[in-house]
Amino acid sequence: MVPYNKIKSILEHTDDGRALLEPHRRLVRKALQETVTCAQDSAIAWLHESVTSGKYRKDYFENIEHMTRDAAGLLFWKEHLIGSFSLTGEEQDHTIALKLAARCRQLEAKGFPLNPRAMVSREIQQAPADTPWKQALYAYAMFMGKDERIRAAFWTQTRGEMVTLEKQADGAVTSWKIPEPVSERLLKIMQSEGFTPEYVGGYPAFERIISASRLSPQDIARALR
């Protein structure tokens, strides 16, 4: 859903967007043309509050082009919310911001979406641009193993529930949906059946485990619709 009232207010307070940083102008234009994501809706809410309260500053965080930070500590790269940033010290803040900017450029170069998860996920950062597991990388919650069986749990789009998948010997995919609160409940259910967590410590391990599950990218896409 496009938040037209907020966009109208933003434009009214910024000389039709001329007083905005270019990344925020692009965000407003994009919101006027299509439905926004949850992350973009959060960014628009912050932008609306910032400009209407007079807190908006037209400069880049740590003088790094495309990076901005709001008064609540939310950090943006262009129009993308990438996480929160608590100030600690001038030199340390600049060093961390430079690392985050490099990470954003790396993900952009591979054509990967920018969001808070991508900024902290070693699996996403290490994944090659042509990985067939992009959707799985952004959605997976955990893997559980028992003998040669692998169950994979993924967050749904609303993140209000998880869906757990297991591919059977005949090729059929069995799925279970678990509503909130999910992580602890899912772990207990799987452990009661003799499954134990599989450690994922980077993209090679992720690729090995998800390949062992015999789930295909298409199986996962269908389950996450």
Question: What digits encode the pLDDT tens for the residues 145-167?
Answer: 999 999 999 988 765 678 999 99
More confident residue, 176 or 35: 176
Q: What is the pTM of this model?
A: 0.73
Tell me the per-residue pLDDT of 10-31, one tens digit each, with 9 for 90 and over.
999 998 988 888 778 888 888 8
Amino acid at 58: K
Boundaries of every domain in the chain? 4-120, 125-223
